[in-house]
Amino acid sequence: ADARLRALCEAALSRWYPTGEAAARAQLRHELQVIGQVQLAGYFLMVWEIVAWARERGIQVRGRGSAANSIVAYLLGITNVDPLEHNLLFERFLSSETRTMPDIDLDFCSRRREEVIQYVYKRYGERHVGMVCNYVTYRARSAMRDVGKALALPQELIDRLAKSQGKWGLPAEELESFAVSTQTWEQYLALCEAIQGYPRHLSIHVGGLCITAAPLDEIVPLERATMPGRVVIQWDKDNVEDAGLIKLDLLSLRTLSAIDECLTMIQTHYGKSIDLDALPLDDPAVYDALQRADTVGAFQVESRAQQQALVQMKPREFNDLVIEVALIRPGPLQGGMVHPFFRRRQGLEPVTHLHPLLAPILAETMGIIVFQEQVIRVAMVMGQFSAGEADLLRRAMSRHRAEEEMARFRERFVAGAQAQGVAAATAHEVFDKLAGFASYGFCKSHAAAFAKTAYDTLWLRAHYPAAYYCGVLNAEPMGFYAPRVIVSDARRHGVAVRPVHVNLSGAICTLEGGGEGLAIRLGLQYVDGLGETGAERVVAARPAGGYVELEDLCRRTRLPRRLVEQVILAGGLDELSAASPRRDRRGLIWELGRLRYHEEALPLPLAPDGVALEPMTYAEELLAEYGSTGVAAEGHLMELHRERLTRARIGTSQTLARAQHGERVRVAGFVAVRQQPPTAKGFAFFTLEDEWGLMNIIVRPQVFAAQRAEWVGATVLGVEGVVQRAHGQINVLAERATKVK
């Protein structure tokens, strides 16, 4: 195994390192030595085999996590981030002192991940592959239900309690009406509290597979999975790792499905084959979009928090993007790393270091510890730890190990620092800083892998926007925004989106036209209730010349009446051909109602002509299409409110962009995103969308509480507040909300 691994890696060296091969070869030699010492060559070959199998079949796959620190993983094609170029640290992934198995996470195109799992079972055998479990623990609602059943409480009372969402109290008279004694009630409350956090049942880990040389039933406890031929290991991922067993995370990522669709369409419509792994990482179009926070539909960087950070960060190179991805995480936000970093980046605060030894390590992050790898490097440089010892220190700090263990690490660190002339007080201060940040820092290799996928999505959107947006729409639900926001953003980037059409739409979204004039045609799957099966039924039954009338569609597809009605409301039968007149949707629904309609009855004779009906207005058609598909392909629902909003002098995203800091404004838009993250101290964040763009709204806790019904319940929201401008960001600090009807 060692020889084969070495041969595979050396064969790839010249491809990935045409220059600088000496440094790469030295790093490879070091990694292979460590891998040989811990006897994991077979593990790397197994992962390589799975990845190679997927790539040969055109299945998008990317490795991430700490594995991206390894040049071996890079040369084998498991990861696509160059660890030398980005100064990544192998020992964060693996060292001879490591006491746990390394963890390689593989993301696959979500549509085809099951093919990979089936391959693994076939390749290694059902007795040698098992799914890792999760322990589902009791929370308030599940505790209420199960304890209530155990104490034989009335089902109606249990339902009432569970629906109270953890608010334990009920009026005494209600308890009396259920004949529940005070003693039983007190016992019930005590037991509900006592069992919270205890295991309730097993579920299957989202992607964890354990592969063993010996049969699983000789090593671990098992239970049958729902799917025939598969078993669940009754240990979670931590137990599996502690036992030294090999675990692989085969995860699905919808973004990779979007990328896969996009690359296929580029090949079909442009005749080009794109190798994303070979893309240069300096495309100006990508960084222009990042600096404008124009990132809707892009991986990892499309949320409000990410966009606001991008405007401050102004990424100019790939490493800037890596840092930004790592910063906007719950850990760094809670650890107070974000604002000091941006103040230093913008020159508002000097970059300082506790000791000159730290300067080279923390230079890229303005003297602030952001990455876990930096904790390791500081321990190596200042504390004179070996790389493996330094990673053990990082693990101990991040997991808040026992005081005795931390005291030993501290003594060792301070002694190593003093041996280099560092004052003991400074060494203690640095150690305290490391301990404070270790549990918040993000793995740089993980951030780099995410940043590469983010870069790829923005590159595809910049150069092949129609294909990229089409891929995203076909991969929904994914990302941060609903399809209607993606459609609006596509139009803002010059991509035409056309509505569902029974003769022109495929089951999924497709591209029409040629060259720069490519447009997206919405797929039939977007029709409410139709689904994949119904959409494919319409496509499969479609004659060569297309459906000629409503009766023809009904007769050939035999779809239920309610689904045909949804197709009509979506505009799918507005114009069956270029020569046929445009049909009114209200008239078509009337016609559908007069058909002698039975799904299995043939033929379906058309009833006599009905009454003359008032045609649907543009507004009614827009609402019907949105109600049926969730998107308005060629319009925007805010158009229906615009005249009234303009009369009321309520502004738009365009007027907000011109507003001055401190100016009072009133704006309105569709609620695209509602957020109340636990790190925000009760603040809520809204993103509103109108015909021209997005607007960011910040809601203080007291304002949210005062108008909770409006903030939570409105689909279209009007907001009055004060403009906040800082570092290129524009927000509205809300003072009042109104539902727009």
> Does the residue 403 lie in any domain?
yes
Do 510 and 550 lie in one domain? The reply is yes
| Chain CA centroid to CA 309, Å | 18
For 58-68, how does the pLDDT look when each residue is reduced to its tens digit (9 = 90+)?
A: 898 988 888 88
- What pLDDT, on a 0 to 100 scale, did the predictor assign at position 417? 92
**pLDDT tens digits for 455-496?**
999 999 999 999 999 999 999 887 688 899 999 999 999 999
In a domain, 354, yes or no: yes
Do the domain assignments include residue 210? no
Reported as a pLDDT band with limits 50, 70 and 90, residue 167 is: very low
Residues 368 and 433 grouped into a single domain: yes
Give the span between the Cα atoms of 36 and 282, in whole angstroms: 37
Out of 598, 629, 660, pick the residue that ends a domain.
629
Phi then psi dihedrals of residue 125, to 5 deg: 95, 145
Domain final residue pick, 629, 653, 686? 629
Looking at the domain assignment, is residue 508 inside a domain? yes
* Contact partners, residue 731, CB within 8 Å, separation at least 6: 308, 696, 697, 698, 723, 724
**Residue-number span of the structural domain to which 663 is assigned:** 639-739
Residues contacting 577, CB < 8 A, separation 6+: 503, 546, 548
The pLDDT confidence band at residue 677, using thresholds 50, 70 and 90, is confident
CA 509 to chain centre: 21
Domain identity same for 625 and 643: no
- Span of 42-56, 444-458, 483-497, 696-710 with lowest mean pLDDT: 696-710
Give the CATH number of the domain where residue 653 resides: 2.40.50.140
Assess whether pLDDT exceeds 90 at residue 320: yes
My answer on whether 430 and 289 are in the same domain is: yes
Question: What pLDDT sits at residue 164?
Answer: 60
Rounded Cα gap, residues 63 and 17, in angstroms: 20
pLDDT in tens, 519-577: 999 999 999 988 889 999 999 988 888 888 888 888 888 888 889 999 999 988 888 87
Q: Which residues share a beta bridge with 687? A: 673, 696
Q: Is residue 171 part of a domain?
A: yes
Residues 338 and 392 in one domain: yes
Averaged over 32-57, what is the pLDDT? 90
pTM reported for the whole predicted model: 0.84
Indicate whether 688 belongs to any domain: yes
Domain boundary, last residue among 629, 650, 665: 629
In degrees and rounded to multiples of 5, residue 112 shows phi and psi of -120, 10
Same domain, 111 and 143: no
pLDDT mean across residues, the chain:
85
Domain count, the chain: 5
Sign of CA dihedral 554, 557, 563, 568: negative
- Tell me the β-bridge partners of 521: 498, 510
pLDDT at res. 451: 93
Alpha helices (H) in 85-181, listed in sequence order: 113-124, 140-150, 155-163, 172-177
Handedness of CA 375, 377, 381, 384 (dihedral sign): positive
Q: 37-74 burial, b if ≥16 CB within 10 A, otherwise e?
A: eeebbebbbbbbebbebbeeeebbbbbbbbbbbbbbbb
pLDDT tens, position by position, 323-347: 999 888 877 777 778 888 988 988 8
Residues 46 and 64 in one domain: yes
Structure token digits, residue 470: 């089409």
Residue type, 367: G
Residues 403 and 439 in one domain: yes
User: For the chain, what percentages of helix, strand and coil (3-state, to nearest 5) are there?
Assistant: 50, 15, 35
Residue 402 falls inside a structural domain: yes
In this model, does residue 603 exceed pLDDT 60?
Answer: no
pLDDT score for 679: 62
Specify which residues 135 forms β-bridges with: 202
Burial of 376 per CB tally in 10 Å (0-12, 13-18, 19+): buried
Q: 543 and 435 in one domain?
A: no
Strands 716-726 and 664-675, bridge-based pairing: antiparallel
Instruction: Note the pLDDT tens digit of each residue in 6-28.
Output: 999 988 888 888 877 888 999 99
Give the tens place of pLDDT for each residue, 515-533. 668 999 999 999 998 888 9
Q: Is residue 221 part of a domain?
A: no
Distance CA 387, CA 381 (A): 10
CATH of the domain at 616: 1.10.150
The answer to whether residues 706 and 651 belong to one domain is yes
Give CA–CA dist 69/72, Å, rounded. 9
Residues 490 and 400 in one domain: no
Same domain, 248 and 157: no
